[in-house]
């Protein structure tokens, strides 16, 4: 509130200063230097210019020009110029009984301009021309202001739309994650496994991150990596020893912010669709950070028994489509997602161009 008042007060003072400069320049040129006007005429000139400037700025442009009422705007423009002309002419006419301007030989060569006073018509036309300039300047200033205002509104709408779409996509991921994890707990509970309490405790840690930390627009990369590590530990509790998990992180995760839950679906799909309990299988999860580039690689065996399950395939497709949409919104032109099926191995590689945060943003 106080800042708004200070801004308006500063704006008013700036306009007063600029109009004062213009008045001083006119006074010097039209009175001191040439003598074609007196102070009363200069006062009328400034009144006409300032009046047409603000009449156009505050009335004609917002009520007519901005609403595409061009004929009404042009008519108002002509009527204003006509009003200025007759105002100057009628106020000058009664006083135009001056003696013709004499030429003084003593002034010759003095450096001063010797110009006779203008007639009422000439003075009126001159003021009208200056009023046209005032109209043009006010239109340019107001038009520029409206353009910036419109651009800011468009950006604000786009940002709100982006936030809403990202929130929707993120909301889709949370049930997907919990359902998959609860299915694993259900399997352990049916086996009456001693690991069930530990799995539930680990799930609470994962839920805390998803519900609270992941609500932020960005999180430290090291927190996202810790979340992936916890998820892998949770999966290890329910997996047999014939499943090998090759998890590796190289490079520094410090001072890097990233959108939360960006890798979660890829990791979930690897465990959900890449485990074959009848033979040894390996799931690879590699994260590599070099300068401002992040490379995330996940691979898993293509389990034959699950290839024909339509529900599983559709579920995986929804998750990948979710990631693709988020990447398009968050990293336009700064990401590459490659999906390869080769030699019974399903692999996904995601490359991102990151933005490193400064210490203050990171700590906050």
For residue 119, give the 3-state DSSP assignment: coil
pLDDT at 73: 92
Q: pLDDT tens-digit profile of 30-76?
A: 888 777 788 888 899 999 999 999 999 999 998 998 888 999 999 99
The pLDDT score that the predictor gives to residue 170 is: 57
Residue 200 pLDDT > 70? yes
pLDDT exceeds cutoff 90 at 193:
no
With a pLDDT cut of 90, the percent of the chain lying above it is: 27
DSSP line for 256-321: BEE-TTSSHHHHHHHHHHS--TTS-EEEEEEEEEETTEEEEEEEEE--GGGTT-HHHHHHHHHHHH
pLDDT tens profile 238-279: 777 788 899 999 998 888 888 888 888 888 888 888 887 778
264-273 and 221-238 are packed helices; what angle lies between their axes, rounded to 10 degrees?
20
Answer whether 268's CB lies under 8 Å from 177's CB.
Answer: yes
What are phi and psi for residue 231, nearest 5 degrees?
-65, -40
> Higher confidence at residue 292 or residue 180?
292
Average pLDDT of 300-329?
66
Confidence of residue 100 (pLDDT cuts 50, 70, 90): very low
Count CA atoms closer than 13 A to 80's CA, side-chain side.
23
Q: Would the pLDDT of 29 be above 90?
A: no
CB of 213 within 8 A of CB of 260?
A: yes
Angle between helices 39-55 and 2-26 (to 10 degrees): 140
Q: Which residue has the higher pLDDT, 301 or 183?
A: 301
Question: Worst-scoring range by mean pLDDT, 101-105, 122-126, 214-218?
Answer: 101-105
Rounded distance, CA 127 to CA 41, Å? 10
Task: Indicate whether 362 pLDDT > 70.
Answer: no
- pLDDT score of 203 more than 90: no
Q: Which of 188-192, 194-198, 231-235 has the highest mean pLDDT?
A: 231-235
- More confident position, 326 or 225: 225
How many angstroms separate the CA atoms of 92 and 115, rounded? 18
**Residue 118, C-beta contacts closer than 8 angstroms, at least 6 positions apart:** 36, 126
Identify the band that residue 165 occupies on the pLDDT scale cut at 50, 70 and 90. Answer: low
Q: Which domains does the chain have, with CATH numbers?
A: 2-153 (no CATH), 198-363 (3.30.565.10)
Question: What is residue 356's DSSP assignment?
Answer: B
């Amino acid at each position: 509130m106080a800042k708004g008042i200070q801004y308006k007060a500063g704006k008013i003072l700036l306009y007063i200063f600029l109009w004062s400069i213009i008045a001083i320049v006119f006074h010097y040129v039209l009175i001191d230097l040439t003598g074609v006007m007196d102070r009363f005429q200069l006062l009328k000139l400034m009144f006409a210019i300032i009046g047409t400037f603000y009449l156009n700025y505050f009335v004609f442009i917002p009520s007519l020009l901005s609403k595409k009422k061009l004929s009404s705007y042009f008519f108002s423009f002509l009527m204003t110029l006509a009003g200025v002309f007759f105002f100057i002419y009628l106020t000058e006419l009664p006083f135009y009984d001056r003696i013709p301007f004499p030429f003084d030989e003593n002034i010759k060569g003095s450096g001063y301009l010797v110009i006779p006073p203008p007639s009422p018509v000439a003075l009126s036309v001159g003021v009208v021309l200056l009023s046209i300039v005032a109209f043009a300047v006010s239109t340019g200033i107001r038009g520029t202001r409206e353009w910036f205002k419109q651009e800011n509104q468009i950006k604000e709408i786009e940002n709100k739309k982006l936030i809403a779409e990202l929130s929707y996509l993120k909301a889709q991921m949370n049930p997907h994650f919990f359902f998959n994890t609860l299915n694993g707990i259900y399997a352990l509970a049916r086996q009456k496994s001693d690991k069930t309490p530990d799995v539930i405790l680990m799930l609470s840690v994962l839920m805390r991150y998803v519900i609270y930390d992941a609500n932020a627009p960005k999180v430290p990369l090291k927190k996202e990596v810790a979340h992936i590590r916890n998820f892998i530990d949770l999966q290890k509790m329910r997996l047999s020893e014939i499943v090998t998990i090759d998890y590796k992180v190289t490079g520094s995760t410090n001072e890097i912010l990233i959108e939360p839950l960006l890798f979660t679906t890829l990791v979930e799909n690897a465990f959900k669709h890449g485990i074959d309990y009848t033979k040894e299988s390996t799931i690879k999860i590699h994260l590599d950070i070099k300068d401002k580039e992040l490379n995330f690689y996940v691979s898993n065996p293509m389990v034959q028994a699950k290839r024909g399950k339509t529900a599983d395939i559709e579920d995986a497709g929804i998750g990948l489509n979710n990631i693709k949409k988020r990447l398009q919104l968050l990293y336009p032109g700064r990401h590459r997602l490659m999906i390869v099926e080769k030699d019974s191995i399903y692999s996904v590689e995601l490359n991102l161009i990151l933005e490193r945060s400064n210490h203050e943003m990171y700590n906050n």
